[in-house]
Amino acid sequence: MLELIFLFLVIGAGTGGELCVSRAMKALGEVHDFRPAALMQFVWRAARVAWMWVGIGLMTVAFFSLLALLSMENVSFVVPVTAMSYAAGAAGAALFLRERVTKQRWLGVLVVCLGVTLVWLSRR
């Protein structure tokens, strides 16, 4: 039961955090200059976007939940089952970021979810 709660937190908070960070990065625009000074300037700009901090907060919750899961289960089980975030991620990208998710991408996500189910069943 505890494993399910932590898994939910890893998926929910992790996906939510990534979506928030993605939204912040889209607002900042594409990176063309990869020199250290330019990257530092980019990080400074990113730190002033509120969505970035919400994202980092959620990803921190997901990180400690992942650590808790890893203390209970093998890494070869924990990491593949967190792929369930694909479904949440694709739905969030369509609804929250207004990205166009094609039918092919949805099919891929569906197959990934089937694989996650098999990994989950392998635990028994």
Kindly state whether residue 45 participates in binding another protein, applying the rule CB under 8 A. Answer: no
CB of 105 to another protein, least distance (A): 5
CB of 29 to another protein, least distance (A): 7
**Complex with another protein: residue 50 or 72, whichever CB lies closer:** 72
**What is d(CA 83, CA 88) in angstroms, rounded to the nearest whole number?**
10
CB of 75 to another protein, least distance (A): 3
Q: Which residues of 51-62 are buried (b: 16+ CB within 10 A; e: fewer)?
A: bbebbeebbebb
| Residue list 69-98, contact with another protein (CB under 8 A) | 70-72, 74-80, 83, 85-86, 89-90, 93-94, 97-98
Residue 19 burial (CB count, 10 A): 22
Kindly state whether residue 116 participates in binding another protein, applying the rule CB under 8 A. Answer: yes
**What is d(CA 106, CA 14) in angstroms, rounded to the nearest whole number?**
20
Could you identify the residue written with the tokens 């530092």?
40
Kindly state whether residue 31 participates in binding another protein, applying the rule CB under 8 A. Answer: yes
Cα–Cα distances (Å) from 30 to 2, 19, 21, 27, in that order, read 40, 17, 14, 9
Interface positions with another protein (CB under 8 A): 18-19, 21-22, 25-26, 28-31, 46, 63, 66-68, 70-72, 74-80, 83, 85-86, 89-90, 93-94, 97-105, 107-122
